[in-house]
Amino acid sequence: MEQLSLEQFKKYVEEGATVIDTRVSDLTYEGIIENSILILPDENFHFSLTQYTDEDAKLLFVTSDSDAPHLARLLKNAGTFHVLGRLNDSLEAWKKAEYGIDFIIGIQPDELEMDYQYDEFFLIDTRTAEEFAQEHLEDAENIPLSELTSALVDLENTGVYYVYAAKAADALTAASLFKKFGIQRLRAVDADYDAIKQTSIPVFKQKKQQNEKKFSNN
Closest C-alpha to 23, from 176, 179, 183: 176
In the CATH hierarchy, which top-level class contains the domain 106-204? alpha beta
CATH 3.40.250.10 fits 3-102, yes or no: yes
DSSP secondary structure string for all residues of 115-168:
HHHH---EEEE-S-HHHHHHEEETTEEE--GGGHHHHGGGS-TTS-EEEE-SSH
pLDDT digit string (tens) for the chain, length 218 residues: 899 999 999 999 999 999 999 986 555 667 889 999 999 888 888 888 998 988 899 999 998 888 888 998 998 887 778 999 998 666 888 988 889 999 999 999 999 999 999 889 999 999 999 999 999 999 999 999 999 999 998 888 889 999 999 999 999 999 999 999 999 999 999 999 999 999 999 999 887 655 544 433 43
Q: What are the boundaries of each domain within the chain?
A: 3-102, 106-204
Tally Cβ neighbours within 10 Å of residue 81.
16
CA-to-CA dists, residue 103 to 84, 111, 138, angstroms: 24, 18, 28
What DSSP state is assigned to residue 71?
A: H
* 127 dihedral zone (left: phi>0; alpha: psi -120 to 50; beta): beta
Which pTM was predicted? 0.87
Which helix (H) or strand (E) segment holds residue 203: the answer is strand 203-205
